[in-house]
Structure 1
Amino acid sequence: MGGERLDSLARRARDRLRAAGVETPDLDARLLTEWATGASRLDLISAPDRLIDADKVAALDAALTRRCQGEPVHRIMGVREFYGLPFRLSPGTLEPRPDTEVLVDLLALVIAEQIARNGFAELVDMGTGTGAIVIALLHRFPGLRGVGVDISDDALATARINAAENGVSARFAAVKSDWFEKLSGRFHFIASNPPYIPRREIACLSREVRDFDPVAALDGGEDGLDFYRVLASHSGRYLYPDGRIAVEIGAGQFDDVETIFAEAGFVLAGHASDLGGHRRAMMFAVKQTVDDLYCPDRNKTHYQDKTR
């Protein structure tokens, strides 16, 4: 009876990744072993003597070679979980990361209110990539309809697959557009995790990001803020009067992004921090609408109290 024992295979995977200097060798070895062999975490404990077929051993060895060369685990596996849902990856998409879940949470608060008032809500996700943000929200709110916008055909195809596999295709549309160029209509909400890495810093990113994430989804221009300027300058005409736009931001960008949106006629309506305590997501409302709704005397402090 051929094959290699599961425990031996898992141990060999750990040793190989440690020798290659991989940052998280134990976790990566376990994930890749489970993926390549079909074994579960429980199998690794309760059935260590299970024999693994040669083709699966070869698949794991190939995956380990790719990981030792810097390719991220989830790119090798072709899927990553986000907000409790599986999302397929492709060369034209970023990996959805846990930090972005705070943007989903921030939007969920106001989407729930909108649906409670009117029975439905509409959202557009600018630079949708895998579709993670909009699809996670569509999955959570049956009363939500969503559009994913991207310039990449590869990303849009991947987003359509993810919408289908997560059961929300009937309420999702994918639109190819260079930001707002081909978009029409109005929405209650705009979401975006735009490219926000300053161009000069891209070469300093980890090789897992620099060499395997699409550069177009990372490069935010000279100061990292180019696409916040695009979003701020165009979003107003695509939002209903009481709509909101929510964006993910990079470390240290909070004040600059608030200024960019303020200069375009928006006011900060909420923000959220990631698990590391960094301010990661910001939400804005059109200032004129806010003033009309909450502070007819144009008292800004009064508005801030109202939104707590």
Structure 2
Amino acid sequence: MFTGPAGRSVRVGLDVGGTKTDAVALAPDGALLGRLRRPTGFGPDAVVQGILEAVSALADEGGFAIGDIESVGVGIPGMIENGTGRVLHAVNLGVDSLDIAARAQSAIGARFAVENDVKAAALGAASLRHDGASMAYLNLGTGVAAGIVVGGRIWRGAHGTAGEVGHVSVDPHGRICGCGQRGCVETLCGGGALAKAWGRPGALPVRDIFDAAETGDPQALALRRDLARGAAAAVRLLVLSVDVERVMIGGGLTALGVRLYTDLLAAIREDAATSPFMRSLRLDERIELLPAGSPVAAIGAALLGDHAAADHPTPEKETAAHG
């Protein structure tokens, strides 16, 4: 049985996705105590119940008690209401409005923190670098979004939309995006938009596109170029708008591995070929592809508890800080 030196010292993080929940438990030194994946339920009650069941199963796997848990962080798709942590419009989960902390905290007895899943993943990705440099996490999945970490903290912007590069239009004559605009970055490199444009059956349509492109299929070649062009545009937007030192790329499309990375590098270098300014930014040296399946979102969620404690210190901590 794991027991932390101060009783409650285990940090739990959950990445609650549309179909599965990835959960991790971290020891005080950051070591991984356990990891598991479970199906995600649909609807508010099922989401909360799934979180509680995942925490309980994780405790069993990691060899610690529920009473050892100091904090639970939840990364979840949707908007997170500033100041309350309430999840809004998580449509893929059947959630219109849900206060996870209010529903789950009493059952665990630990501090809860809730964040958008991509922003949580950004925090987890930043923790892997150990250098404190500013960075952006670019999520290439069904959709496209980014989270930004500066000074070790998530940068949300004035209204929480910092990093929403997927809905920047880069081609006014391009495909119609789900947001209503034309030619958004997401229409070029989002897995959902690519699958729709491909229009052929298959369990892994983006992988099918890459495979078909290697046989010379004209449509596949065009869509593969779109993906690289869109991802390169997202990297440019993040560096030119925030000037992050590093752009770490994750999400489901990283399963394409070296093929995605090679295409992205080629697109970035092609764009820079005629621009001394773009070459000076060395974008090709500022990107990094995370390993497919890396649990950065769950790890980032586990770290949310630390940030919540820093933002809302206990009276004992305030007394110690002021002597």
Q: Which has the larger radius of gyration?
A: 1
TM over 0.5: no
With normalisation by structure 1, the TM-score equals 0.28
Q: Which has the higher contact order (CA 8 A, sep 6+)?
A: 2
